Structure 1
Amino acid sequence: MSTVFSKIISGEIPGRIVYQDDTVAAFLTIEPVAYGHTLVVPVEEIDKWTDIPAELWAHMNDVAQKIGKVIVDEFDAERAGYLIAGFEVPHAHIHVFPANDMSGYTLSSAMRHDETDPAKMDAAAETIRRGLTATGSK
């Protein structure tokens, strides 16, 4: 059975994709700790990050770092948060988000889907896409 992440990647269900190639995709989470909160995932359904082949893991981290740099620059964040977490979707993913303190590292502080502003989510996705394009990362 396909995961919700695979369905976003394939276009089966809507998602705010900011980056995609043959092996890695990145899209905004529907429950962000801050606008710009992005998930970096392997296209292949791999449940645990420890099972991801080293070359793919390196590529995922390269994409996460590029997104993190855009987040710091474009969202006026002190840092880009990086977190591996999540039992709710059996598809490995890296969380990258604007961070000015440790609060974002507690995903329990995330906004619920119905609390987010769709216009702000769309703007955040476009900001990341533009930033990646400007740096030649997309």
Structure 2
Amino acid sequence: MTIFSKIVSGEIPAYVVAETIDFLAFLDINPLAEGHVLVIPKKEIDYIFDLDDELYTGLQIFAKIIAGGIKKAIPCIKVGVAVIGLEVPHAHIHLIPMNHVSDLNFSRPKLTFTPEQLEATMEKIREALKIEE
């Protein structure tokens, strides 16, 4: 069972910004930027291109909705998208607020936020998503 599956099951807490029956979006606790969100299918499948077409397209549509909320909540030019999938064997999409191409550099040091800061960011994105609906 991956760490993401443990988040889905509630074994590990997370800063959840949105959830559906099939998908979950939560803050990355080792972010590249404030508002860096991970979007996952709740079903544990390692490789994103192993998702069946329905789950894959649903994940992309869910990610698009979440990106809209991030863009409204966090000052940025665009929300960048990255799929790497080497660290956690559970398909996931990174949504990262960006103002420069270098904001998507996964080799640079990650940021650290307090639980209070993460909670505040989560709430800002949740509020922005309510506007989306």
Which interval holds the TM-score relative to the shorter structure?
over 0.9
Paired letter, 2:108? S
What displacement does 1:100 show? Answer: 0.4
Q: Calculate the TM-score normalised by the size of structure 1.
A: 0.90
Q: Which amino acid aligns with 1:19?
A: A
Aligned partner of 1:135: which letter? E
What are structure 1's unaligned runs of at least 5 residues? none
Q: Which runs of 4+ in 1 moved over 3 A?
A: none
Q: 1:54 to 1:110 in 2, by over 3 A?
A: farther
- The equivalent of 2:89 in structure 1 is 90
The residue matched to 1:90 in structure 2 has which SS? Answer: coil
Q: Which runs of 5+ in 2 are unaligned?
A: none
Structure 1, residues 11-42: CA drift from partner, whole Å, max 9, x if none? 10111111111211111111101111000001
Structure 2: how far apart are the matches of 1:110 and 1:127? 24
Stretch moving more, 17-26 or 40-49: 17-26
1:116 to 113, 117, 123: 113
- SS of the residue 1:15 aligns to: coil
Q: TM-score, normalised by structure 2?
A: 0.93
Task: After superposition, give the CA deviation of every residue in 1:57-115 in whole Å (9 maximum; x if it has no partner).
Answer: 11111111111112222211100010001311100100001110112221122525xx3
* Root mean square deviation, CA, Å: 1.3
Q: Give the deviation of 1:129 after TM superposition.
A: 1.1
Mapped pair 1:101 → 2:97 = no
* Equivalenced residues, count: 133
Contact 2:47 2:85 in 1 (8 A): no
Task: Write out aligned runs for 1:1-138 (5 A).
Answer: 2-111=1-110, 115-136=112-133
Percent identical residues = 38
